[in-house]
């Protein structure tokens, strides 16, 4: 069965942590990772003054905040304010204390449809398809489905970046750095400066993922890597985001 792929993350932050502009929030908040499915449904989880949303296109979100996971269903015609109210009902975090990030700060007065929250999976979007349509690199590393492994002692290679060029990842744990190497240069990035790590399975290619390292405050700074073997995905995320491996 082909693996499904999801969409960009929506990040919920507390008011006192917004200056960090980080998907890896410290003061009570953590990334709200959302995957979506669209549907037409008679149920809308938030009613504004008796307003109904029968027959509207719905989207299912998976919210991760403060180490807890929540499922949330909302209409694409709901506003950012509606979404904040739903997050409040699930987490107890007041809307006035929320900073919801989606391609920048989520506007309260616009609908999710207007700000282009999309049901299209990441791997179906044009910027990613142009890389994935190249096919697998000829030196791709083998994948081990259903198995989690620690990071290898050698660089991870056989992957593409968003330009379709070869890329390798080297984890310099003793220096707390991630080295991203291409034919042209090697970037040495302090792991503490990486705000978030986004991962999505590649549709139709079980065992391989696309992965983004967020190097700045917004998703515009994401560095995408394609064809990451599944067995290393959790180890990469845990290492970069500070959850050290104990083996």
Helix (H, G, I), strand (E, B) or coil at 174: helix
Find the helix or strand (DSSP H, E) in which 87 lies. helix 80-91
Give, in words, the CATH class of 123-240.
mainly beta
pLDDT tens readout for residues 33-61: 343 444 434 333 333 333 444 567 777 77
pLDDT greater at residue 75 or residue 52 = 75
**Which residue ranges does the chain devote to CATH 3.10.20.90?**
11-120
- In the DSSP assignment, the letter for residue 133 is T
Q: Which structure tokens are listed for 132?
A: 């994935």
pLDDT for residue 62 is more than 90: no
User: Is pLDDT at 118 greater than 70 in this prediction?
Assistant: no
Number of H helices, E strands in the chain: 3, 12
Question: Domain 11-120 maps to which CATH number in 3.10.20.90, 3.30.830.10, 3.30.70.580, 1.10.8.10?
Answer: 3.10.20.90
Q: Where in the chain is the domain with CATH 2.30.29.30?
A: 123-240
pTM of the model: 0.58
Query: Alpha carbon of 133 to those of 26, 56, 124, 202, 232: distances in Å?
Result: 38, 33, 10, 11, 23
- The mean pLDDT of 161-174, rounded to a whole number, is 95
More confident residue, 12 or 15: 12
């Amino acid at each position: 069965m082909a693996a499904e792929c999801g969409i960009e993350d929506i990040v919920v932050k507390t008011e006192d942590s917004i200056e960090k502009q980080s998907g890896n929030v410290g003061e009570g908040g953590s990334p709200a990772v959302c995957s979506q499915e669209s549907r037409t449904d008679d149920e809308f989880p938030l009613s504004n003054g008796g307003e109904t949303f029968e027959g509207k296109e719905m989207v299912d979100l998976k919210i991760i905040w403060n180490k807890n996971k929540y499922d949330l269903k909302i209409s694409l015609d709901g506003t950012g304010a509606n979404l904040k109210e739903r997050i409040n009902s699930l987490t107890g975090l007041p809307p006035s204390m929320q900073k919801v990030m989606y391609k920048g700060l989520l506007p309260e007065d616009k609908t999710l449809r207007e700000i282009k929250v999309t049901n299209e999976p990441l791997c179906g979007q044009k910027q990613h398809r142009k890389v994935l349509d190249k096919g697998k690199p000829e030196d791709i590393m083998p994948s081990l489905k259903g198995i989690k492994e620690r990071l290898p002692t050698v660089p991870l290679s056989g992957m593409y970046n968003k330009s379709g060029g070869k890329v390798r990842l080297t984890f310099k744990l003793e220096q707390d750095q991630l080295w991203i190497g291409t034919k042209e240069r090697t970037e040495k990035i302090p792991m503490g400066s990486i705000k978030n790590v986004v991962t999505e399975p590649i549709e139709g290619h079980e065992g391989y993922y696309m992965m983004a390292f967020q190097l700045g405050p917004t998703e515009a700074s994401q560095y995408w890597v394609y064809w990451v073997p599944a067995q290393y995905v959790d180890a990469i995320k845990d290492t970069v985001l500070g959850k050290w491996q104990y083996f």
